[in-house]
Amino acid sequence: MKEPALTLTAGDRSLTVQRDWCKGCNLCVQSCPAGILSLDEGERIVVEDISRCIFCGVCAARCPDFVFTLAREWQPQVAMGGPA
Ligand code: SF4
Ligand code: SF4
């Protein structure tokens, strides 16, 4: 059965994981500098603790199957004075 993409958030950042597309190659697990990725018993990717993710993008860069998407919520900038 198709599994919907999982979106994990921490502050204004998010990591979307399309687990269905994971082939269990382990490349991202070995590359994640935070050490928060692993494979479950079905050889599919698991993000163990999104609060420790540094949103470096290494997983997205390494994955040959486009499992990961990083995003940052847009925050409107507040004008701090200047000419009227
Ligand atoms: S963005 Fe970086 S720290 Fe976060 S899961 Fe991917 S490789 Fe690990
Ligand atoms: S690099 Fe991609 S396909 Fe390989 S284990 Fe990680 S998420 Fe799965």
Pocket test for ligand 1, best of 14, 49, 51, 55 (most atoms within 8 A of CB): 55
Q: Ligand 1 pocket, 57 CB below 6 A?
A: yes
pTM, two decimal places: 0.88
Domains of the chain, residue spans? 6-72
Residues facing residue 72 across a β-bridge: 13
Q: Ligand 1 pocket, 63 CB below 6 A?
A: no
- For 28-52, the pLDDT digits (tens) are 999 999 999 999 999 999 999 999 9
Give the fold, CATH level 3, of 6-72.
Alpha-Beta Plaits (3.30.70)
Name the percent of the chain in helix, strand, coil, to the closest 5. 20, 25, 55
